[in-house]
């Protein structure tokens, strides 16, 4: 008998007195001890479907049709009491963002104990179980950690705590909502491995909700692809990767680099045997130390960067890759002159810029521009698209209104947006469209070098593809150089020629992407590459 049986489920959200559908006609089953992955982009309805299963929709969510049977109990339209009996003890939930998923004013052990007590355990046995579950979830030194508060734990430990809470209910099914998003890639891999092992060991079913088809393919027995609230395709990973039926599925596969190349990461550019052009940007022995008592960092004398050196050759893309806290973002900001280095030299197109005052640097700004990570905050919500794009021209007093308008049209064309967008406000654009506008703005001054700070990490997988292609095309057409910062090796493989791998403020390895990805020399690089999901190699059909 199946553990979860969803038939014809319709779920919607009530907004302005109308119900906007989020899930339509969903059929889904999960068998005992089975791992199923729900894959889809944002707005596909995957999280909504999982929430609806145990009645945890937000206040304006409604199940409008269909049935959902969990362990023999109908949950669609069920009373709160019925649902409560299922939550925790039959179905456990690992929520999406571990940084905010725990009560900040309660000790971690107490939060796990709460789940244990709900099973009827009392007295000293509770404490023992709490430590046991923490241990199971892979938390070292459980007695110490149980007494701590969430803000004292790292993201990875918080995620493990949430796993422990889910396990403490001894459920038959665990729903893991986007278990990979908020954490560093190596941490994600370890946690997913661990979770996978646990559920197999204890015979628990697992429902993974993810936007990453590669993660789904790696770890699930069955993959269900959703789009715009409907199920698009469903099959075993081998079948889906080997012979995808739907064009959408095929698009998703193409967009995931490892899957597209049968389990290997194949960089787009191989420049190992080519001559190196002149550098447009060269950093030599750049170090940055935050002084003791710096309020922002809260530590005493923090070494953010330690003798970082690299070059960006003209017309090429150099990437800085590493996990959070490795110093790649600070390096980018120093290269752009937004922060000052403690020591070292930064040479932009032949001009030394370290130590230059803002005003002295200003004329050089025309050579190097920036594209931010967050497309939703990178445009002034009160500026129209046209105004945002032409602002650099206005700041430098280039041209008059007419010529700026013409230039704006030209730029929109370059980023493949229609000219009618000139009068739109950012609120009327999607994430991908906003990022295109940001790129157009960066091109306005005809720079030689563009710094890209995680340019696609906030976008959906297919949109990421589009933007990366756009960037590559622009580079070919305009001879641009890029300095790319990313935590995602797949993105790096897509558009970079050379790469520096950073860890704890140091460059651990560097060289052409083709070399570093196929023959990594440092252990850390190898770890990073291993952590890219999608290793499941597909046998040629």
Q: Which of residues 294-353 bind another protein (CB under 8 A)?
A: 336, 338
Cβ proximity to another protein, 21 vs 88, nearer residue: 88
Q: Which of residues 358-387 bind another protein (CB under 8 A)?
A: 362, 365-366, 369-370, 372-374, 377-382, 384
Work out how close the CB of 168 gets to another protein at its nearest, in angstroms, rounded to a whole number: 8
**Two tokens, residue 324:** 């959070």
Q: Which of 277, 473, 472 is nearest to 484 (CA)?
A: 472
Work out how close the CB of 389 gets to another protein at its nearest, in angstroms, rounded to a whole number: 10
- Size of the residue set binding another protein (CB under 8 A): 80
How far apart, in whole angstroms, are the C-alpha atoms of residue 181 and residue 183? Answer: 6
Using rule CB under 8 A, residue 266 touches another protein: no
Applying CB under 8 A, among 283, 474, 491, 532 the residue interacting with another protein is 474
Q: Pick the stretch among 270-278, 279-287, 305-313, 458-466 that binds another protein (CB under 8 A).
A: 458-466
Q: Pick the stretch among 32-40, 114-122, 209-217, 349-357 that binds another protein (CB under 8 A).
A: 114-122
Applying CB under 8 A, among 433, 464, 486, 500 the residue interacting with another protein is 433
How far apart, in whole angstroms, are the C-alpha atoms of residue 438 and residue 471? Answer: 12
CB 234 within 8 A of CB 222: yes
Cβ proximity to another protein, 439 vs 492, nearer residue: 439
Say what angle helices 155-168 and 124-136 make with each other, to 10 degrees: 130
Work out how close the CB of 376 gets to another protein at its nearest, in angstroms, rounded to a whole number: 9
What number of H helices and E strands is found in the chain?
Answer: 20, 20
How far apart, in whole angstroms, are the C-alpha atoms of residue 10 and residue 12? Answer: 7
Q: Which of residues 480-539 bind another protein (CB under 8 A)?
A: none
How far apart, in whole angstroms, are the C-alpha atoms of residue 219 and residue 251? Answer: 20
Applying CB under 8 A, among 430, 523, 526, 537 the residue interacting with another protein is 430
Applying CB under 8 A, among 1, 122, 296, 477 the residue interacting with another protein is 477
Binding mask 405-424 for another protein (x = CB under 8 A): --------xxxx------xx
CB 366 within 8 A of CB 395: no
Cβ proximity to another protein, 329 vs 525, nearer residue: 329
* DSSP for residue 365: G
Binding mask 87-106 for another protein (x = CB under 8 A): xxx--xx-xxx--xxxxxxx
How far apart, in whole angstroms, are the C-alpha atoms of residue 302 and residue 117? Answer: 43
How far apart, in whole angstroms, are the C-alpha atoms of residue 106 and residue 319? Answer: 41
Using rule CB under 8 A, residue 396 touches another protein: yes
Sign, CA torsion 117/120/124/126:
negative
Using rule CB under 8 A, residue 31 touches another protein: no
Using rule CB under 8 A, residue 455 touches another protein: no
Listing DSSP states for 33-83 in one string gives: T-EEEEE--TTSSHHHHHHHHTT---TTEEEEEEEEEETTEE-TT--HHHH
Work out how close the CB of 424 gets to another protein at its nearest, in angstroms, rounded to a whole number: 5
Q: Which of residues 38-67 bind another protein (CB under 8 A)?
A: 43, 54, 56
CB 179 within 8 A of CB 210: yes
CB 312 within 8 A of CB 280: yes
Cβ proximity to another protein, 63 vs 508, nearer residue: 63
Q: Which of residues 162-181 bind another protein (CB under 8 A)?
A: 162, 165, 169
Cβ proximity to another protein, 276 vs 338, nearer residue: 338
Say what angle helices 401-414 and 385-395 make with each other, to 10 degrees: 120
Cβ proximity to another protein, 440 vs 538, nearer residue: 440
Residues in the chain: 541
Q: Which of residues 117-156 bind another protein (CB under 8 A)?
A: 118, 149, 151
Q: Which of 7, 112, 507 is nearest to 285 (CA)?
A: 507
Work out how close the CB of 510 gets to another protein at its nearest, in angstroms, rounded to a whole number: 26
């Amino acid at each position: 008998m199946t553990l979860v049986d969803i038939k014809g489920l319709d779920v919607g959200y009530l907004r302005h007195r109308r119900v906007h559908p989020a899930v339509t006609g969903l059929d889904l089953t999960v068998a005992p001890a089975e791992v199923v992955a729900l894959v889809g982009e944002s707005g596909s309805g995957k999280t909504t479907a999982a929430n609806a299963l145990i009645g945890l929709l937000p206040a304006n969510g409604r199940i409008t049709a269909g049935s959902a049977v969990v362990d023999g109990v109908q949950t669609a339209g069920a009373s709160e009491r019925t649902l409560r009996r299922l939550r925790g003890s039959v179905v456990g939930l690992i929520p999406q963002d571990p940084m905010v998923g725990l009560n900040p004013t309660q000790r971690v052990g107490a939060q796990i104990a709460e789940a244990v007590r709900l099973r009827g355990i009392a007295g000293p046995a509770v404490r023992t179980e709490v430590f046991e579950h923490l241990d199971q979830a892979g938390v070292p030194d459980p007695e110490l950690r149980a007494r701590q508060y969430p803000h004292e734990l790292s993201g990875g430990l918080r995620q493990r705590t949430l796993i422990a809470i889910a396990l403490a209910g001894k459920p038959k099914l665990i729903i893991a909502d986007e278990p990979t998003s908020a954490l560093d890639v190596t941490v994600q891999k370890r946690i997913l491995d661990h979770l996978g092992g646990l559920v197999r060991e204890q015979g628990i079913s697992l429902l993974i909700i993810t936007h990453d088809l590669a993660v789904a393919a790696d770890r699930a027995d069955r993959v269900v692809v959703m789009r715009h609230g409907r199920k698009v395709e469903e099959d075993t990973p081998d079948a889906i990767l080997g012979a995808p039926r739907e064009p959408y599925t095929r698009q998703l596969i193409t967009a995931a680099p490892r899957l597209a190349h049968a389990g290997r990461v194949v960089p787009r550019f191989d420049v190992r045997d080519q001559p190196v052009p002149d550098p447009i940007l060269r950093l030599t022995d750049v170090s940055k130390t935050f002084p003791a008592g710096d309020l922002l960092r809260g530590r005493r004398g923090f070494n953010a960067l330690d003798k970082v050196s690299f070059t960006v050759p003209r017309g090429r893309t150099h990437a800085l890759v590493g996990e959070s806290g490795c110093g790649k973002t600070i390096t980018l900001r120093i290269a752009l002159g937004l922060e000052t280095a403690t020591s070292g030299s930064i040479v932009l197109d032949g001009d030394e810029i370290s130590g230059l005052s803002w005003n002295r640097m200003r004329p050089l700004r025309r050579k190097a521009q920036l594209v931010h990570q967050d497309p939703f905050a990178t445009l002034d919500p009160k500026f129209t698209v046209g105004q945002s794009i032409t602002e650099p021209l206005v700041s430098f007093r280039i041209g008059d209104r007419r010529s700026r308008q013409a230039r704006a049209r030209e730029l929109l064309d370059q980023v493949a947006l229609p000219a009618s967008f000139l009068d739109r406000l950012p609120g009327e654009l999607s994430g991908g469209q906003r990022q295109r506008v940001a790129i157009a703005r960066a091109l306005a001054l005809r720079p030689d070098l563009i710094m890209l700070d995680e340019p696609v990490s906030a976008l959906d997988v297919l949109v990421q593809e589009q933007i990366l292609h756009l960037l590559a095309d622009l580079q070919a057409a305009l001879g641009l150089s890029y300095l790319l910062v990313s935590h995602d090796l797949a993105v790096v493989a897509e558009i970079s020629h050379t790469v520096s791998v950073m860890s704890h403020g140091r460059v651990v390895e560097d060289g052409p992407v083709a070399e570093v990805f196929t023959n990594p020399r440092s252990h850390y690089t190898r770890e990073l590459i291993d952590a890219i999901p999608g290793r499941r190699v597909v046998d040629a059909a």
